[in-house]
Structure 1
Amino acid sequence: MAIETINPYTNKSVKKFDELSDAALENKIAQAEKAFGTWKTTPVKSRAELLHKVAALMLKKKEQLAGLITLEMGKLIAQSVGEIELSASIFEYYAKNAEKFLADKPLEVEEGSAFIRYSPIGIVLGVEPWNYPFYQIARIAAPNIAAGNVIVIKHASSVPQCAQAIQELFDEAGATAGIYTNLFISSKKVAGLAADTRIKGLSLTGSEEAGASLAEASGKNLKKSVLELGGSDPFIVLEDADLEKAVAMAVEGRMGNMGQACTAAKRIIVVEEIADTFLEKFKQQITGLKVGDPADKTTQVGPLSSEGAAQHLDEQVQKSIKEGATLVMGGKRIDREGAFYEPSILTDLKPGMTAYHEELFGPVASFYRVKNEEEAIKLANDSPFGLGGAVFSKNIDRAKKIADQIDTGMVYINEPTTSQPDLPFGGTKRSGYGRELSGLGIEEFVNKKLIRVSGK
C-alpha cells in the first residue's frame, strides 16, 4: 500500500513517503525499547511536563496542523481546528491528572496492609485510522506516555503528513528519541510487530476486519489489546423531546466529519407521532448545504476521505434501494471533481437490507419510525455494533431507564455521542473492547501490581 497524500477535494496525489526498510524498522523498535528503560523510572511530573509542551505546541500551530487534516482527508477546516483543540486538551488532561490516576490504591484487608501499584509495561503499538488523525493519536499517546510506557504508531497510510507532524511535535517538545515513534510501514508488518517480544500491548481503531486481525495476532502472542471498531449508533427521539433541538443535534450527529465517525448518529429512530414532522425538519436542514472546498470556511459539505470511500458508500446506498429501501433525498455522487457524496436519507429499512446491518461511513442517515419506546429499544439493540447512542426526552429519568437498556458502551442523553478527555470512550459487541480517555484509559496498559505487607 502506498504511503501517500491524495487530496480528496481533487483526487490528486500531493506527496509520497517511503516505507521503512526492515533494518530501519528494527532500529526504531530498538530505540523505543532503550527509551523505555529510562522513561519507566522518570517521575510522573517530568512525564507530564512533556505532555504540557506537546499540548502547547499543538495550540500554537493549530491552523497549520488543521490544514494538514483538511488536505489529507477532507475534513471541513473549522472541524479540523476543533480536532486539534480537542487533541491538545487530551494531552493537557493527562498532564494534569496522571499523578492522581497513578497513585497507589490502598486495599481494605483484615490484617496487615495492601495496595495496588500501577507500573508501565513497555512498548505499546497503536494502529490508527484516518478520520481523526490527531485525536486518535492523542487518545493512546497521552495516557500511555503519562503512565511511563512508550508508543510506536502505525498510522493510516492516507494521512502521512499528519503522522509526520505528530512526530515533529514530540521532537520539538524535547521528547527523547523512542518515547513516541511514527512508523511508515504497511499493514502487513503489524503481525510481525505483534509477535515481537519487545511489544507489550496493542491498540487499534478501525474496521472490524482490521480489529479481528489484530486481536488474533495479540491473542496468539498472549498480549493485551484494546479495540475501537465500527458503530451504527442509534439516535432515539421520544414524543416528549425538544423537537427543534433534537433535529439540530441529529444534523450535527450525522453530518459532522461528513458522517465519517464511528459514533455518528447513523440510525435515527423516532416515535411515530412526531416522525413525519421530525423527518421534514431534518430534510430541510440538510437540503441546500453549500458544497465546496473544505479549506473554505463557508463550505458545509466537503468530500469524503477518498474516492474509494465515496464509491463504497454509493454501492451500499444503491444496493439498499434495490433491496426495497426508500430514498427520501440524495442518494448519488455530486457531479464534480473530488470524492463528494450528497447528504442523503434512507427509510423503510428492513432486516436483510444492506443499510440495516452495515455501517454507512458517510453523510447518509437511516431513518426509522417506531410505535413506542419499547420498539425503539428493540431496534436500537438489533445491530452487531455497540459503540454509542443517544436518547432525546425531556423526562430525564425515563431517558436514563432507556439508556440502561441499550447495549452500547456509551449513551448520551439530549446530545449526540461526543468525546471529551474526562469521559471514557469505547464499546461492546462488534464495536470492540477496552476503554480510552478518562481515568480508565490510563489503566489499560499498566501492570496493576499487588503489594502486600504481612500483618503477622
Structure 2
Amino acid sequence: MSRIETFNPATAEKLTSYDTMSESEAFAKIDACHAAFLDWRKKTHEERAPYLKAIAEKLREHQDELADLMTREMGKLRSSGGDEIALCAALFDYSADQGPSKLADEQRDLGNGQKGLITYQPIGVIYSVQPWNFPFYQPVRVLAAALIAGNGCVLKHASISSGSALRLREICIEAGLPEDLFQVLLIDHDTSDKVITHDKVRGVTMTGSDKAGAHIGTKAAAALKKTVLELGSNDAYLVLGDADIETAVKFSVQGRLYNNGQTCVNAKRFIVAEKVYDAFVPAFVEAMKNIDMGDPMKDSTQLGPLSSLEQRDKVADQVRESVKNGAEILCGGEVPDREGAYYPATVLANVTPGMPAYDDEIFGPVASVIRAKDDEDAMRIANDSRYGLGGGIFSQDEERAVELAKKYFDTGMVRINSFGAAHPDMPFGGVKNSGYGREHGGFGMHEFVNAKAIFRP
C-alpha cells in the first residue's frame, strides 16, 4: 500500500504521512455516503440549513488552528489564512440563508387550465476533486451547495492538503452533520478514475489545470456523469490609456501576489496601453521589488513559499523558457539560495506569443507585461488566450470599463479598478479552457439537482 507524505514548504520539514485507501475501502465510503444521502434527502431545505449554520460556527471557532494548518501544509501566509476560513463560514451561512428560497418549488401556469410544478430534487453522491491552493475554501464551496441541495459529497483533496481535508470532515461531524454524509478519500489517480464511474456517484466537480480537467471530464462523460470544471487561467488585467496609475499598480501587485501567486484568478498578464506604459511599468516593478518575502507565519511577510519544491521548480522552468524566447526580466527571476520552496516577485517584459509567460498559466508570483498600441489592441490581446476565467480593467471611465467588460471581455468574471477572488453572492467560473459550470451566487446549488417537471390538470 502506498503512502501520502506531507511537508512544510517553508522548511522542508516532514509533517505526517497517511496510508492511501484501497479501491474497496474507497467504494465502501461511497456506499456509506449514499446511505446517508437517502436519509438526508428527506429533510426540507429549512431543516438542512441549521446544520450548515453550525458548521459555519465551528469553522469560526477553530479559525486560528485551521489557518496554522494551511500554512504548514502549503505555505499560505498565516495572515491570510483567517480570511479563507471566514469565507468558508460565509459560504455555509449563505447556503443556509439563501438555499431554501433559491431551491424552492416553482409554480407555472401552463394555460388551458393546466398547472406545472418545477421542483429541484437532489441527485445523490457528488464527487469533488480539489487542489491544494485553498485547502478549506475549495472543498467548502462544493460541500455547502451540495448539502443544502440535499446531496452527499465525497472529497479527493490534493495529497499535500490531506490534513486539511480530514480536519474539515472532523469539523462537520463536530457540528452535527451525519457522519457518513461527507467523506474524504485518500486515493491515487487510478482509483479516482474508478470512483468517477461508480454507480452511486451522480456528479463530478473538479478544480485544477485544464489538462487534469480534460482527463476527468472525459472519464465522466464516458460514464454519462454531469461535471462542473473550474480550471486554470492566465487572467489579463488591462491598464487602459486613462488608467489611474497609482490604483493600477496597487491592485496589480495585490492581484499577482495574492495567495503567493497561486490562484486561478490571480492577475497574471498585464496588458498596458502605450500611452501609460512608461508610467505604469517602472512603478509596478519598483513595488514588486519591495515585497517582503519570508516566513509565512510572520504577519509582516508579504510573499511566502510556493506549495512545494516541485511547484517552485516548475515556475522557474517557465520563466527560463520565456527568457530563452526573448522575455526580459525586470525584477526577480532567480531561485533564491535559501531553504524552502521560495520564488521572488518577478516581472517579465517583452512577453510575446509562444512563451509560457504569454500562452500558459504560471502558478506563482510572476507577472507578464505586454505592451498594447491602444485600448482596442489591449482587449484583443486579453482575449488572445485559450483561457477565460477572470480578468480586470483599470480605467477612470468606470462606465466605459463596464461596457467593455460586458460586451468584449471573453471571460467569466471581470474586476473594475480592483482585485478580489470570490464572493458568496456572485457566480464563479469561466469559459473556454477555463472550464464550465458555475459556483456561488446560488448557481452552484442548481448544478447538481434534478429540475423535475410535474404536470397537473
Q: Output the TM-score relative to the length of structure 2.
A: 0.97
Q: Counterpart of 2:388?
A: 386
Deviations 1:273-328 (A, max 9, x none): 11111111111212132222101111122100000000010001011101011111
CA contact (8 A) 2:293 2:344 kept: no
Query: How many Å separate the matches in 2 of 1:310 and 1:7?
Result: 13
Q: Counterpart of 2:240?
A: 238
Query: How many Å separate the matches in 1 of 2:177 and 2:360?
Result: 42
Q: Counterpart of 1:443?
A: 446
Paired amino acid for 2:441: S
Question: Is the aligned partner of 1:12 residue 2:13?
Answer: yes
CA contact (8 A) 1:265 1:389 kept: yes
Q: Counterpart of 2:428?
A: 425
Q: 2:219 aligns with which of 200, 204, 217?
A: 217
SS in 2 for 1:42: coil
Q: Quickly say closer, same or farther: Cα 1:214–1:299, change in 2 above 3 A.
A: same
Query: How many Å separate the matches in 2 of 1:65 and 1:391?
Result: 34
CA contact (8 A) 1:292 1:299 kept: yes
1:388 is displaced (CA, Å) by 0.5
SS in 2 for 1:270: strand
Query: How many Å separate the matches in 1 of 2:65 and 2:241?
Result: 45
CA contact (8 A) 2:23 2:191 kept: no
CA contact (8 A) 1:2 1:157 kept: no
Query: How many Å separate the matches in 1 of 2:364 and 2:276?
Result: 26
1:418 is displaced (CA, Å) by 2.2
Query: How many Å separate the matches in 1 of 2:250 and 2:68?
Result: 27
1:241 is displaced (CA, Å) by 2.1
CA contact (8 A) 2:256 2:266 kept: yes
Question: Is the aligned partner of 1:312 residue 2:314?
Answer: yes
Q: Counterpart of 2:345?
A: 343
Task: Report 1:29-428 matches (<5 A).
Answer: 29-111=30-112, 112-403=114-405, 404-428=407-431
Deviations 1:30-50 (A, max 9, x none): 111110110011121221111
Query: How many Å separate the matches in 2 of 1:311 and 1:33?
Result: 41
CA contact (8 A) 1:144 1:151 kept: yes
CA contact (8 A) 2:124 2:201 kept: yes
What are structure 1's unaligned runs of at least 5 residues? Answer: none
CA contact (8 A) 2:217 2:227 kept: yes
What are structure 2's unaligned runs of at least 5 residues? Answer: none
1:95 is displaced (CA, Å) by 0.8
Identity of aligned residues (%): 41
Paired amino acid for 1:261: T
Q: How many residues align?
A: 454
Paired amino acid for 2:456: V
CA contact (8 A) 1:233 1:387 kept: yes
CA contact (8 A) 2:122 2:149 kept: yes
Query: How many Å separate the matches in 1 of 2:63 and 2:166?
Result: 15
CA contact (8 A) 1:134 1:162 kept: yes
Deviations 1:36-80 (A, max 9, x none): 110011121221111111110101110000001100000111111
Query: How many Å separate the matches in 1 of 2:148 and 2:134?
Result: 21
1:251 is displaced (CA, Å) by 0.6
After the TM superposition, which parts of structure 1 deviate over 6 Å for at least 4 consecutive aligned residues? none
Query: How many Å separate the matches in 2 of 1:85 and 1:173?
Result: 16
Paired amino acid for 1:433: Y
Query: How many Å separate the matches in 2 of 1:238 and 1:168?
Result: 48
CA contact (8 A) 1:389 1:416 kept: no
Query: How many Å separate the matches in 1 of 2:288 and 2:415?
Result: 23
CA contact (8 A) 1:86 1:135 kept: yes
SS in 2 for 1:438: coil
Q: Output the TM-score relative to the length of structure 1.
A: 0.98
Query: How many Å separate the matches in 1 of 2:244 and 2:181?
Result: 48
SS in 2 for 1:407: coil
1:2 is displaced (CA, Å) by 4.3
Q: 2:455 aligns with which of 449, 452, 455?
A: 452
SS in 1 for 2:159: coil
Query: How many Å separate the matches in 1 of 2:169 and 2:192?
Result: 19
CA contact (8 A) 1:235 1:416 kept: no
Query: How many Å separate the matches in 1 of 2:109 and 2:71?
Result: 52
1:106 is displaced (CA, Å) by 2.7
Query: How many Å separate the matches in 2 of 1:355 and 1:70?
Result: 27
Query: How many Å separate the matches in 2 of 1:26 and 1:126?
Result: 15
Paired amino acid for 1:117: T
CA contact (8 A) 1:390 1:417 kept: no
1:384 is displaced (CA, Å) by 0.6
1:26 is displaced (CA, Å) by 2.4
Query: How many Å separate the matches in 2 of 1:12 and 1:301?
Result: 19
1:417 is displaced (CA, Å) by 4.5
Paired amino acid for 1:444: E
CA contact (8 A) 1:391 1:411 kept: yes
Q: Name which of structure 1's ranges 395-404 and 256-265 shifts more when overlaid on structure 2.
A: 395-404
Deviations 1:208-228 (A, max 9, x none): 121111101110000100000
1:114 is displaced (CA, Å) by 1.1
SS in 2 for 1:4: strand
Deviations 1:211-263 (A, max 9, x none): 11110111000010000010110101112222211110101100111110010
1:397 is displaced (CA, Å) by 2.2
CA contact (8 A) 1:31 1:177 kept: no
Paired amino acid for 2:219: A
SS in 2 for 1:385: coil
Query: How many Å separate the matches in 1 of 2:336 and 2:3?
Result: 27
SS in 1 for 2:302: coil
1:108 is displaced (CA, Å) by 4.5
Query: How many Å separate the matches in 2 of 1:277 and 1:293?
Result: 32
